[in-house]
Amino acid sequence: MTETRKVETDVGQTVYLSVGYDPDQPDEPREVFYSSGFKSGSMLEFQVQDFCVLFSLLLQYGMKPNEVAKSLARKENPDGTLSFASISGLIVNELSKPPKWA
């Protein structure tokens, strides 16, 4: 099962990800693919694609998104809250959320 998700960055960028779920455990993500959002052919687009491949491998070896998320960089916002400091953190955080069918 696959779900496409829309992720908003804190600077107003919209990124689309496709998340593949384990057929035997439909609430467990097993892979993530970057769909669109950054300039085609840009270094950032390639970095996000590569991150998705690497994170998919972590998922396939049993890592949970929330286990990875707690180790990623955060930044303090003007209102005092914390948010992820990179697009990688936003992706991992998004995969920590259950799919719509769960």
Name the token pair of 55: 């994170």
Nearest residue to 51 via CA among 8, 82, 94, 100: 94
Q: For residue range 30-56, list pLDDT tens digits in order.
A: 999 988 878 888 888 899 899 999 999
Q: Are 83 and 75 in contact (CB under 8 A)?
A: yes
pLDDT band at 9 (very low <50, low <70, confident <90, very high): confident
- From residue 63, alpha-carbon distances to 41, 82, 98 in Å are 30, 23, 15
Whether the pLDDT of residue 14 is over 80: the answer is yes
Q: For residue range 51-74, list pLDDT tens digits in order.
A: 999 999 999 999 999 999 999 999
Find where tokens 């950054």 sit. 38
How far is the C-alpha of 4 from the C-alpha of 85, rounded, in Å? 23
The kind and range of the H/E element at 93 are helix 87-95
- pLDDT for residue 70: 93
